Amino acid sequence: MEAYIHELSACDDELVVRFSGCDYKCRYCNTPELVEFRTEELMPLKEAYAAIDAAGKRTVVFSGGEPLLQRQALLALLRHCRKHGLRTVLDTNASKPEAIRILLDEGLIDEFRVDVKAPLPIFDRVTKAATFFKPTTALFAEFKESLRLLKARPKGVALSFSTVIAPGLLYRKEDVLELAILLDGLDAEWLLVPFDPAVTLDRALQGVAPPTRNFLDTLVGFVKKDFPRLDVKAG
């Protein structure tokens, strides 16, 4: 079996496995090199296993791109990690609830880090995910199902959320509060982070001033006022 893997890189006590290919293609994405599947990045899993073993790190983070798009390869790598007693982290957009269900059922993930993109009314503005075969409403329903599964996750499985705030895309108080409705009650930290204009998938956003810390703090204040249970912070 092979997987589209852009790179494996060590950082502190973690090894990060970056998968190529993404289904959302967010306009502000600052890793455009990971959006497409590239034949030259196909890696035999035996090589990935060897790299994980050789790294000698306690934690392996699976990121992307979107790892859930390569479910079978991801499962094989996670099972390898479990066999060797490694802690596992998944950085995901949670677009594939059936894959998340399997991960939870098999106990393969110690920590989920979920990128929450946008509420339904502006989902098409932020992402390029919708297709003729799967409209935005269907995509968003799948994301909500993933949230339902994560809310019922086993005790001890860590969960956190992050949302990129970008002028012209997701920045209005009303849109952030729509997301707060979805995340309320999930018992997880939620970070509002500024987009990085240095490199973006949509070049029209390059050079646009990111939101200030004061702006992010103001959004956090609006959320806390209406949803005091949410652990929301400016990132």
- Position 57 scores a pLDDT of 93
The predicted-structure confidence for 21-39, as pLDDT tens digits, reads as follows 999 999 999 999 999 999 9
Q: What are phi and psi of 159, to 5 degrees?
A: -145, 135
User: What's the average model confidence in pLDDT over 177-182?
Assistant: 97
- Position 132 scores a pLDDT of 80
User: What's the average model confidence in pLDDT over 49-71?
Assistant: 96
CATH code: domain of residue 19: 3.20.20.70
Position 73 pLDDT exceeds 90: yes
The predicted-structure confidence for 83-125, as pLDDT tens digits, reads as follows 999 999 999 999 999 999 999 999 999 999 999 999 999 999 9
Angle, in degrees to the nearest 10, between helices 173-183 and 213-226: 50
- Dihedral Cα 129, 134, 138, 142, nearest 10 deg: -70
pTM for the complete prediction?
Answer: 0.94
User: What percentage of the chain exceeds 90 in pLDDT?
Assistant: 94
H or E stretch at 6:
strand 2-11
- Position 12 scores a pLDDT of 85
Domain total in the chain: 1
Position 207 pLDDT exceeds 90: no
Position 50 pLDDT exceeds 90: yes
Range of the structural domain that residue 11 is part of: 2-234
Position 184 pLDDT exceeds 90: yes
Mean pLDDT (the chain, rounded): 95
Which class for 156: exposed (0-12), middle (13-18), buried (19 or more C-beta within 10 A)?
exposed
